[in-house]
Structures are given as C-alpha cells and as structure tokens.
Structure 1
Amino acid sequence: MATKHIWQSLAQDSGLFMCHIKKTFILLLTVAFLLSAVAYVFDFSFETTQRFSQAWLNKIMNQTHYKVIKSTSANRTQKDVLAPLPNQQIQPRGTAIYHHVAHPSNYHFILDEPDKCKQDPFLVFMVPVAPHQLDARNAIRKHTWGNESSVQGKAVLTLFLVGLTGGAEAQQQLEEESRQHRDLVQSNFVDSYFNLTIKTMVIMDWLATRCPQAAYAMKVDSDMYINLENMMTLLLSPNTPRQNYITGYLMWDRPVIRDKNSKWYVAEELYPEPKYPTYLLGMGYVFSNDLPEKIVEASKEVKPFNIEDAYVGACLKLLGVAPSSPPDPSQFRAYLGQYNREDFLRVITTILGSPQQLRDIWKDVKRPT
C-alpha cells in the first residue's frame, strides 16, 4: 500500500509539473508573438515615415534624370549629393556621386516668370542664390542695385534663381515670396554647391527661352556689389560688341585641381585636360544676350563638370567665342579691402561680406555729395 501511495503522489507531482511547463510555454509563445508584432509595426512605421518625408521631393523630381559619376572625393557631404529618385538609393560617401546632366532640358521650372521680359529690358541680372538666403535677396531687391528699374534711360531687371528647398514648409515660404515679389525662378535640381553648373545652365536656358529680347544679361552672385552706372556706361560704349561678347574677371591658364580633398576637385573622367580654357570668374560676368542660347546648345556636346564658371568657358571654347578683357580690368574686382567710398565709385563689381554690408555701402555710395 505504501508503495502504491508513493507512486500516486509522484504521479500527482508530475502532473502539476507538466501543467507548469505548459503554462510557461504558452506564456513564452505569447511574449514572442507580442515582440514580433511590435517589431513589425515599428518597421512599417519607419518605412512609412521615410516614404512620406521624401514624397514631396520625389514628386517634383520625377521628370529628372542623372548619371552616376564615380568619385572618391573626401570632402563631399550628404548635402552635396543629389537626392535619389523613387526606388533608388544614395551610395555611401566615397563610392559614388549622383550628378545630374547639366543640359537644362533635363529640368523644368517650378516657379517661373515667363512674362517678365515683356517690357524689353536692356539688361537682365540673374542671381543664383540658395533658397534659404532671404536676407540676401531682400538686400538686393529692396535696398540696393536690384531695386533699380532704369539706369541711364535703359530698363534693367533683376531675378533670382533657386533650386529645390528640401522641404514642404520651406517651399511654401518660397512660393509666398514669389507671389509677393514676382522675381523668383525655381527649377527642380537639388540646390547645392556641387550643382552650380546646373544652376548656371538653367539661368542660360531661362534667358534663351523667356527673355531673348534683352540686349545684355549678367550672371551675378548674391554677395556682390554692382555699380550700375559704371556697368551701363560699359555696355553703352560704342566699342562694346552686341554679339558674342562676354566680359568680367578673366582667368587664364588655370590648372585643373586633382586633389580629392579640395573643394574644387574635378576628376579626370569629367575633364581630362590639365588646364581650363580662358573663362570668367563666376562671381559676376556680363554677356550679350545672344550667347545663352548658343551656350545651352554647346552644353549638349560638353561633358558637365562641377566648376560652373570653367564649364561655361569650355562651352565658349567650343563655340569659338573668346572672353573679352574689360576696357578697365580694375573695375571687376574680387575684393577691395578696407572700405573707401572712392573705390566703390570706380568699380563695376566686387565681393562683399554680408547683406548688411551691401546695404551700408550702397547707402553711403548713393548719398549726396
């Protein structure tokens, strides 16, 4: 009987033990299921958020094409490469750079002023500027040289060219600025230093297609001072050509930078020659307005590279157009140093340090004497 009782007790304990095992197993299965569900939901939410954050950019870039240019440039940052199109990814830095084809037919205008030149301006200033640089635009359009509509009896016009803003809120602000001032042109390329060649070619395309009736145009950076009186005196001179003319700060025999750590690095596959053809420094050059259409056409044959002013020089070389030295080369200056009013009364262009400096100098130069 004792033996029977022992076996009955062991059987009961074994049953209880198996019951505990079953409960524990069910609990572990439940926890595993819940963890899997959480991971799935998180992954779905992350992917959905990514898709939503790029939806606006992809929508306005869906007509854009690019080539992949191999590079190991060490100083390229994420902001200097182009955003991917749908179903395409950016390679890690140091493996590839996404570079749009420079010919402007690869892009379209998001903001445009197609009727801006109906009044037949004599001179059009085209200012490439970053979307966020509102203060620079306001300093030009409201307080200084961009606020002038007539110089020596000739109509002048100023417009700003920007690329993509990188976000819906910034885009809305830019569109509101456009409605207020009617002087913004925007195209669907990523606005970055690496894409200045694209920016310049889009400027040329706008001039060729929207404003061919202008006599002259100037590509001028947003940090530049321009003496409009001296500029107009140059263009109205009987010795200034009306066709195939471009002048500014000339660059001769400039070597191509092959140092991959340099901001101005250009790979041999993009530009194989050891030196650039003669070109005009990109801070500001003025040209007869027959050239934009010709430069755009030449860009079909000239492989794009990322030094925009030298690229324009390469297009001019193909066209057989030699940049002209200005009658007084000292009027196109990079820097003037310490402010002297007389210096600013003599020059045509020079680089300044800030929008506020432009305002202050303009006010002083224009004061009655």
Structure 2
Amino acid sequence: MARLRCRWWNLLICLCTPCLLLGLLFVYVALMLCYSMASVTSSTSGSSTTHLSKTTHFIAPGTYRNEGFAPLPRTFWDPAPHGGALWNQLQLSIDRYNNPILSDRRTARGHKRMNSSYSHLMKASFSAVGELKTRMSDDFAKLPEQMKEFVSSMHRREYPDLIVPSKPCGAGLEEEEEEEESPLLLLAIKSVAMNFERRQVIRRTWGQVGWMAGQRENGNAEGKAGKSGGYVRRVFLLAKQSQPELATDLTDELLELESRHYGDILQWDFKDSFFNLTLKDVHFWDWFSRRCKRARFVFKGDDDVFVNTPRMLDYLVDQEERLGGSAAMRGFMVGDVIGAAVPMREKKSKYCVPESFYKGLYPTYAGGGGVVYSGQLTKLLNQVSKSVHLFPIDDVYVGMCMVKLNAYPVHHPAFLTFDFPKKEEEQQPCAHHRILLVHKRSPDQVSELWSELKDKLPQCWNATLRNAGKQNRTTETAKLKRLKQRERDYI
C-alpha cells in the first residue's frame, strides 16, 4: 500500500510541476510588461499632446541584434527624428497621416470627406508641433531675415492671381493660327518685374514662340532642318516686386501693358523673393494642370540663361521616340543633377537653411537654373506637392516631391547650370551647338550667342551634344545608382 501511495505521489509531482513553472513564467512576463509600460508613461507624463516630439508612444524593448535573427531596433519609432527640426517634424505629421499603418483609417476617411483638399491638413500639422518661433530655436531673432519671413508664412500657399496670360497656354498662338498638334515645349521662365530687358531679349532669341525648327544631326550643310522641331509656347513667372525704392504703382502699370502686348505674364500676389521661388513652382504646376495640360514638355528656368532651343526640341522629340508610351514619361526630368548635397549653414549665404529648421541631406535634385520635365510629370508634381510642406530652396523642394513620386531626375552634361569648364568655351568653335543650356548670361551675351548660333550653323550642324556618348551614359547610370543608394539618408 505504501509503495502504491509513493507512486501516485511521484506521478502527481511530475504532472503539476511543469504547470506551476509555466504559471510562474506567465506571471513574470505580465509583471515585466506592466513595469515597462508604467516607466514609459511616467517618463512622458505631463507633456503636451499637441507636440509630436513629446507624444506618448509605446517603446518596444529590443536589442540591436539577436543571435540567429535579423537586427532589431532599440525603439519602434523615434518620437523626435532629426532632433526635432521644424520641417522634418511638420512633414512627419503629414507622412504619418497618410500612412495606413500609423493612422486610423476610419478617422482619415472622415477627415478627407470633410476636407476635399489637403490645405486643412497642412495647416493642422503646424498646430501639431507647437508655436513656430519657439520650435525653431531660442534665438529666433538671430536667424537670417529671409528665413524668419519664410517660417512666419510657410503655412500659407494659396495666393490669388494678379495677371494671367491672355491665351490658355501663354504666348504662342496667333488668332488666325491653329496648331496642328499639341505644343511640344512650354517655356516657363522665372523672372521679376524689373527684368524687362531680359524678357525682351528672350522673346527675340531662344524664347520665340509658334513653330520653331530644330537642328537634326542628319540635316545638311546649309543648315536646313526640314520638319524637325515643334510648337513652342512661353510664359514668364512673376510675383509682386519687393523693392521699396521702386515705384510700385508704375511697375504694376508697366507689367499690365507688357501683359496686354505679349500675353505671356503670369503673376501672383506674394512677395517676389528667393525663398518664395517654391511658391512659383506650386502655383505654376496648378496653372499648368488647369490651363496648359496638353503641352508635352516643360522647360523651367531662370531669365539669365541661354537655351539652345533648336537642339532642345530635337532632343525632346528623340526622347519621345525612344521612351514611347505614357508610363515612361511619367517620371521624365532631365537637367544638371546634384546628389546628396548638404544644407548650407552659413548665415551670410542666401542658401542658408538653419539646422533647427531642417536636418539631413538634401534629396537628389536638378539645378533650378534650367530643367526640363514632361507634361505628365508636371501634373503629378501638382498633386504630390499638396502633401509636401514648402521648403525655402525651390529646386530642393522639387527633389523632395520627386522622392514622393519614387522618381529621379536624369543628369545630362549639356545642361551647364554652372557655366562651361575652364577654357572649353574658347577652345571649341561649336561649343554652343553642343549644349542645351548655359548659365549665366547677360542680355547682350544672349543676343550675341543667338546670332552666333545661326551664323555657325553650316559648319556646326552635325555637332553632337556634349558628352553624350556611350561611355558617358554608363558613367551617369552608375552615378544615379549611387545617388539612389544615398537617398536612404533623406528625411
């Protein structure tokens, strides 16, 4: 009997011991989870929920590496990315809202029903990061003046038109003329009210409108280009002149006269300044999407550049023939591409962007002196820009919008936004026949170059575009791959 009881006792111990140990393990895990959540809550208690950088989050414990598994982050989400720089925080608010994982889908759908546009959402993100000036830095008054002005008004992007072109797509279509096809190229040229001489020179030279002949490489020695080329339209992008010493009323009257005579002025009611060039971009994209959406390509550049328009037209026709289809043209942008640039922090520079405003590398972007992109991309930029906060450097902002579209500009050596390399212009007699754009040129120089382009056409008609060979294309492809690799540091 004693032996039987001993056997039953041993069996009971064998069965109950694992259950007891498992129960103790569950109790231990529950206590640790409660302790972790309590510590996170206590560390964030008393903080304002209107500041993204202080919002309470569950911090998932982890290690940098588990043996046999992929690396794990120490935290699931950094509540203060890039040290809480203003632009990064503002954009993070929008990105979280548009992220189906991080946002409540039902709340998002209800919000979109109440607000058909993104304007309300963009403005609301400012309240999510608190007072602008205090979020920038403690010494806001010491920031550059143009940055202070930009920060104070960057929440607003809707401004009324002051002057609009008399025809739907700007200058280029006479009353008795009908274009046989959609415009190949729209020239959108950034200018200011006082630069009347530059606009006049452009109208007489590379900015002529209507049908413009190209310069095919299979032309002939007499410079006859046949039917190569396309229809060109033109519009100048202006805002309100900001020089107090000038007679504003007189300037406005002269612009009105200029607009009535040429029909190519597009002006908006905001201050014409360097940091407001981004506003010109977003307003131009909107105008294009409504009034000039049939144009197949857009050239956007400064009024102090020289453009080899005949070669540009041929280049674009070749791109259409080579790429074909609408899918390939949706992300088409070509220019002088700059990759992984570092923000300028020197306060004396007009490009200065303080660290308290933005941290991180700039995205890959095409220099704003002159860039060409497709009409399809223009309409996509108009849409995606509504979910990207304004940035004070216009070409960098375009690069930010391109990242959102998962598109990248293509570099072409014939876009010389920083002028020719040393002595190249002097040593090559057909130098200007081998480029698409060069910056920076005065009105007199532009006139001389346009005359030279025509005079030297018989001897330079078959000049190839600068560094457009196979070896260069291979180099540029490798460069683009490196730039995409470094994009991971962006935002």
Q: Is the structural similarity TM-score above 0.5?
A: yes
Is the counterpart of residue 178 in structure 1 residue 178 in structure 2?
Answer: no
- AA of the residue aligned to 2:330: Q
- AA of the residue aligned to 1:315: C
Superposition map of 1:138-287 within 5 A: 138-142=200-204, 144-151=205-212, 152-166=228-242, 167-237=248-318, 238-240=321-323, 241-272=328-359, 274-287=360-373
For residues 418 and 168 of structure 2, what CA distance do their matches in structure 1 show? 31
Q: Would you say the 8 A contact 2:201–2:447 is kept in 1?
A: yes
- AA of the residue aligned to 1:228: T
Deviation at 1:294, TM superposition (A): 1.8
Structure 1 regions of 5+ residues with no counterpart?
A: 1-64, 83-95
Cα shift readout 1:267-299 (whole Å, capped 9, x = no counterpart): 345433x21110000001100111222212222
Q: Would you say the 8 A contact 2:161–2:267 is kept in 1?
A: yes
Task: Select the residue among 374, 389, 392 that pairs with 1:303.
Answer: 389
Match of 1:342 in 2: 430
Match of 2:189 in 1: 127
For residues 129 and 73 of structure 1, what CA distance do their matches in structure 2 show? 30
Structure 2 regions of 5+ residues with no counterpart?
A: 1-121, 127-131, 174-178, 213-227, 243-247, 459-491
- AA of the residue aligned to 1:203: F
Deviation at 1:319, TM superposition (A): 1.2
Deviation at 1:109, TM superposition (A): 1.3
**How many residues end up aligned between the 2 structures?**
284
Match of 1:53 in 2: none
Cα shift readout 1:310-331 (whole Å, capped 9, x = no counterpart): 01100110111111233xx244
For residues 290 and 166 of structure 2, what CA distance do their matches in structure 1 show? 9
Match of 2:454 in 1: 366
Shift >4 Å, 4+ stretches: 65-75, 337-341
Task: Select the residue among 147, 153, 156 that pairs with 1:99.
Answer: 153
Superposition map of 1:5-84 within 5 A: 70=136, 71-72=140-141, 75-76=144-145
Deviation at 1:81, TM superposition (A): 7.2
SS in 2 for 1:247: strand
SS in 1 for 2:300: strand
For residues 360 and 245 of structure 1, what CA distance do their matches in structure 2 show? 32
SS in 2 for 1:285: strand
Deviation at 1:188, TM superposition (A): 0.8
For residues 110 and 266 of structure 1, what CA distance do their matches in structure 2 show? 30
Cα shift readout 1:168-201 (whole Å, capped 9, x = no counterpart): 2211110011011111111111101121111222
- AA of the residue aligned to 1:322: Y
**Structure 1 residues 81, 188: CA separation in 2 closer, same or farther (over 3 Å shift)?**
farther
- AA of the residue aligned to 1:98: S
For residues 366 and 73 of structure 1, what CA distance do their matches in structure 2 show? 52
Q: Would you say the 8 A contact 2:365–2:399 is kept in 1?
A: yes
For residues 373 and 155 of structure 2, what CA distance do their matches in structure 1 show? 24
Task: Select the residue among 292, 296, 302 that pairs with 2:378.
Answer: 292
Further displaced range: 260-269 or 242-251: 260-269
* Residue identity (%): 27
SS in 2 for 1:147: coil
SS in 1 for 2:153: strand
Q: Would you say the 8 A contact 1:244–1:321 is kept in 2?
A: yes
**Structure 1 residues 73, 122: CA separation in 2 closer, same or farther (over 3 Å shift)?**
farther
Deviation at 1:75, TM superposition (A): 4.5
Q: Would you say the 8 A contact 1:124–1:218 is kept in 2?
A: yes
SS in 2 for 1:187: strand
**Structure 1 residues 116, 366: CA separation in 2 closer, same or farther (over 3 Å shift)?**
farther
Q: What is the root-mean-square deviation in Å for CA atoms of aligned residues?
A: 2.6
For residues 320 and 101 of structure 1, what CA distance do their matches in structure 2 show? 25
